[in-house]
Structure 1
Amino acid sequence: MDLGSRRVTLAVAAIVLVVAAAVVYVTSVVRETSPVAVTTVDGDLMFVALADGRGRVEQVRLADPGARSATPMTCQRVYRAGGTTVCLRLAGPGPTYAAEVSRDGAAVRTVPLPGVPSRAKVSASGQVVSWTSFVSGDSYLVPGGFSTRTGFLDVRTGEAVESLEGFTAMVEGKLHTAQDMNYWGLTVADDDRTFYATLASGGYTWLVKGDLVDRRLESLRRDAECPSLSPDGTKVAYKKRIGRLGPWELAVLDLKTGEERRLPGTAGVDDQATWLDDERLAFAAVPKDAKLASIHVVPADGSSAAVILIPDADSPSPI
């Protein structure tokens, strides 16, 4: 064998070893994140721990947030309501991702995701599970520089809808048929059909209200992203930019009066907030001089600034 052939052989062998190592790594991670039903609940808040980089799901009592307890799950996003838990997780080489849904301790459904997990919610009854994933790109920071898919699963019927993009959209009173529409941050009311979400198109974002059964939606106002409906259904929290290109902060909209209130101490948030109750919101944000996100809590009436509740944590979900 001449020198050139030997170099080619060595190069091919090296590539094979690298690929094999990658497959072994991804397989081991997938094995760790195999579907695990939630069989016990021992806390008030469920979240994804970030410190070890594995996405371990833990629980805490709000009265003692320093005392964490582990669960068997490993997720990138997690949410639980009405006895139903959704875990957005790594599912295989590629990498590929899936939404694992369990109800009352038993696995219900695995729904493949078209991209990297971003948001997850469950309706109060536990009957409607929703998610958002990035199809390309990895950030909302550049409008139009990414593509998302927002879908949902009706646990009662087993129907899974991959995307809201097939819904009839009325934007500012007119039928909207642009090809660049993206949706994210689906949140469902207690009737399990009324929903709120973000619609982005043409460099703008709108808070939209829709109907999962009629598959129609209409815009309510511009510049509102990642909405979250309060338990009593009277308010919607969302992130809103400070200025045209500034960072986001949280705002709360009173659906009856139309009054919008910005929440202090939330600048820099990039999360779909979670209502702990009708008066308090939890969200993840990276504190100043920190590398990892922490879970913060803020009063919904804006009476005081947000404070850190759980360091090195993401994806808060009340239990």
Structure 2
Amino acid sequence: MNNKKPVLAFSALCAAAVVAVGGYLYHAKQRLPPAGGSAASAVTAPEPTATAALPAAPAASTLATALPPTDSADAAAHPPAAAPAATPTRPAPTVASASSATGRLFFRHTGMDEHYGQLAWREAARGGEAHFVAHLRCEVAHVSGGRGMCLTAERGVVTTYSAKLFDATTFAVTAELPLQGIPSRTRVSRDGRLAAYTVFAAGHGYTSLDFATRTVILDTATGRELLELENLAITKDGQPFKAKDFNFWGVTFTPDGKNFFATLSSGGQHYLLRGDIARRSATVLHDNVECPSVSPDATRVAYKKRYVVDGRIVWQFHVLDLKTLVETPLAEKRNVDDQIEWLDDAHVLYALASDSAAASTDVWTAPIDGKGAPSLYLRNAYSPATERFPKPAP
């Protein structure tokens, strides 16, 4: 009987210990955040931060001193050597502007890190985590209708260029073709069936007098060339228009994919073309238009307009109403060499050289009514593309 007392005492002690540990675990569990709570916020993008308003737009007489001496496209065209790929995602760059856009926003990452030059995207245009596509390092890119185009440069003893068509869901490359020149512009139609690109066959910028371009529209499913703009039948003021010095660039597709707008340069003038793909023809609509971009509702075209200030070429953004042909200058008064992307029907996106690094750019936004002030939209980004799809049939 006496031998049973120590056993009973030990059993009681064990039971008490189990109760104590269970109580501790219960209270510890109550202090942990639920799934998807504050613990997940550690890997989400930072909250948008306010951006100081820009100074008032300068008058035309002060334009020369107000504009920066270099173009954002020149800085973006010469990236540093590629670094080894790292993790596929990281916190997104800072967004500092509101909008009504809801689709994915694609862009070329220009932060000075291992992702420099990679295609990147965000689930929503205003926020969310940035994702990187390690096998797509682009000089310029565009995505629409579930398809994308990435113009690449392989730098070595001899630099080579190519265009890669890809599926915007899996990012698998579906076609690749060599480019005979330095990548400049690219666009994909809203339905994803067509893509266009412009390369410099000679020269490397639109400010020189001796540059030459090649601009092509192709089938995204096969990579097959459908139309080279040099072969268009063009009319101006109701008459055939043809010259040996024609150069074309900056294609933008209408929402139905049947027509396009582009720039035609000849004799020192820059014209807005409206083209018909099936007819292989185009008509001059307006003058002093470069790198047009048609609005989502197809009623307006945004573009850069060329000026010469103190012997230097500068560009200023305008929006043209296609029905009235009335121009509206935008509030952005800095010199921007870029093809505008429409964020929505009331705002546009474009890239400017960053203050933080010579080869980096940031994306800015401005309202198309010419009021207000531009604001910083996305840091460390270039070549923005707002994902769009065809409207469903009624």
Per the shorter chain, which TM-score range?
Answer: 0.7 to 0.9
Name which of 130, 150, 154 aligns with 1:68. 130
- Is the counterpart of residue 282 in structure 1 residue 346 in structure 2? no
- Is the counterpart of residue 58 in structure 1 residue 120 in structure 2? yes
Report the Cα offset of residue 205 of structure 1: 0.7
Name which of 101, 104, 127 aligns with 1:44. 104
Q: 1:233 to 1:124 in 2, by over 3 A?
A: same
Alignment of 1:118-267 (within 5 A): 118-142=184-208, 144-155=209-220, 159-161=224-226, 163-242=228-307, 246-267=313-334
In 1, Cα distance between the equivalents of 2:355 and 2:290? Answer: 23
In 2, Cα distance between the equivalents of 1:153 and 1:284? Answer: 26
Report the Cα offset of residue 301 of structure 1: 1.6
Higher fraction of strand: 1
Q: 1:31 to 1:169 in 2, by over 3 A?
A: farther
- Is the counterpart of residue 81 in structure 1 residue 149 in structure 2? no
> Aligned-pair RMSD on alpha carbons?
2.6
Name which of 307, 312, 315 aligns with 2:380. 312
Q: Contact between 2:141 and 2:150, CA under 8 Å: does it hold in 1? A: yes
TM-score between the two structures when normalised by the length of structure 1: 0.80
In 1, Cα distance between the equivalents of 2:222 and 2:117? Answer: 30
Amino acid at match of 1:170: T
- Is the counterpart of residue 98 in structure 1 residue 179 in structure 2? no
Amino acid at match of 2:368: A
Amino acid at match of 2:361: A
Report the Cα offset of residue 177 of structure 1: 2.2
Greater mean deviation of Cα atoms: 162-171 or 82-91:
162-171
Q: Contact between 1:182 and 1:199, CA under 8 Å: does it hold in 2? A: yes
Provide structure 2 residue ranges, at least 5 long, that are not aligned to the other structure.
1-80, 86-101, 388-394
In 1, Cα distance between the equivalents of 2:175 and 2:356? Answer: 40
Amino acid at match of 1:110: E
In 1, Cα distance between the equivalents of 2:361 and 2:333? Answer: 13
Report the Cα offset of residue 183 of structure 1: 0.2
Greater mean deviation of Cα atoms: 309-318 or 199-208:
309-318
Q: Contact between 1:30 and 1:90, CA under 8 Å: does it hold in 2? A: no
SS state at 2:149 partner: strand
Greater mean deviation of Cα atoms: 254-263 or 302-311:
302-311
Q: 1:88 to 1:162 in 2, by over 3 A?
A: farther
Q: Contact between 1:30 and 1:92, CA under 8 Å: does it hold in 2? A: no
Q: 1:113 to 1:172 in 2, by over 3 A?
A: farther
Give CA deviations for 1:101-144 in whole Å, capped at 9, x if unaligned.
Answer: 123534322122111111111011001111111112111113x3
In 1, Cα distance between the equivalents of 2:331 and 2:153? Answer: 35
Q: Which structure has the larger Rg?
A: 2
Greater mean deviation of Cα atoms: 278-287 or 181-190:
278-287
In 2, Cα distance between the equivalents of 1:287 and 1:50? Answer: 9
In 1, Cα distance between the equivalents of 2:301 and 2:182? Answer: 26
TM-score between the two structures when normalised by the length of structure 2: 0.66
Report the Cα offset of residue 166 of structure 1: 1.0
Provide structure 1 residue ranges, at least 5 long, that are not aligned to the other structure.
1-27, 33-41
SS state at 1:217 partner: strand
In the alignment, which residue of structure 2 is the partner of 1:19? none
SS state at 1:141 partner: coil
Q: Contact between 2:235 and 2:241, CA under 8 Å: does it hold in 1? A: yes
Q: Contact between 1:250 and 1:267, CA under 8 Å: does it hold in 2? A: no
SS state at 2:337 partner: coil
SS state at 1:165 partner: helix
Report the Cα offset of residue 175 of structure 1: 1.8
Report the Cα offset of residue 196 of structure 1: 0.3
In 2, Cα distance between the equivalents of 1:31 and 1:172? Answer: 55
Q: Contact between 1:194 and 1:210, CA under 8 Å: does it hold in 2? A: yes
SS state at 1:247 partner: strand
